[in-house]
Amino acid sequence: MERIAYIIPGFGHSPLRQRGYKAIGGFFERQGITPRYVLIDWHRKTPRTFTDFVRQFLKHHDGRKRQETYVLGFSYGATIAFLSATKIKPKALILCSLSPYFEEDMKNLKPSWIRWWRKHFKDSDYSFAAMAPRIRVKTYVVYGSKEHFSVAVRAKDARARIPRSSLRVSRGAEHKIHRREYLRTLERLIKTL
């Protein structure tokens, strides 16, 4: 059976340009899992919608039954992975620094962040509490200990609400997937797959 890992980058990132994504692909390769780097056109449409981002990801996913699929997403990429999990049913989901922009998170965000979000994302009313119980796959939630507190709150809530989930805190890591601390945490996690 073929084993494939889809790697979805954070907002504005390209797995071909930003450091870190290739290293993560190497971690998967060492476990016999073929990495597939997902290219999202973040600026294709305005206003932006997660519906469009999920659609772009699903075009990369070939949906063959005879493959074991893993999906790793960072930040907005983690949101895309989360929103698509019920459609593709991967073997495991790795949500790195899941963006705290669900309707339950608004109370934890700076007003300027909320204004930017609502201006640029028109389908921004997803309820995490309503969606999380439908995720039935093994889910790893990862965040850095030096990220904004709203990311930690979102990660801990995800761990509590998603069945079959576990939480990993990357000590000393900021909201930067290419940093050594974050990569070390992901390398250890991917070795367990």
Domain layout of the chain by residue ranges? 2-190
Count of other CB atoms within 10 angstroms of residue 112:
8
Q: Who has greater pLDDT, 43 or 88?
A: 88
- DSSP for 89-108, please give it: --SEEEEES----SGGGGGG
Q: What's residue 5's pLDDT?
A: 97
Q: Are strands 138-144 and 92-96 parallel, antiparallel or unpaired?
A: parallel
pTM attached to this predicted model: 0.93
Distance separating alpha carbons of residues 30 and 17, to the nearest angstrom: 22
pLDDT band at 124 (very low <50, low <70, confident <90, very high): low
Question: How confident is the model over 130-188, as pLDDT tens digits?
Answer: 999 999 999 999 999 999 999 999 999 999 999 999 999 999 999 999 999 999 999 99
Under the banding of pLDDT at 50, 70 and 90, the label for residue 106 is confident
The structure tokens listed for 39 are 């290219």
Q: How far apart are CA 20 and CA 15, in angstroms?
A: 8
pLDDT tens digits for 107-121?
A: 888 889 888 888 877
| CATH fold label, 2-190 | Rossmann fold (3.40.50)
The token duo for 24 is 């993560």
pLDDT in tens, 50-93: 889 999 999 988 777 678 999 999 999 999 999 999 999 999 99
The amino acid at residue 135 is I
The candidate with the shortest Cα–Cα distance to 39, out of 66, 6, 85, is 6
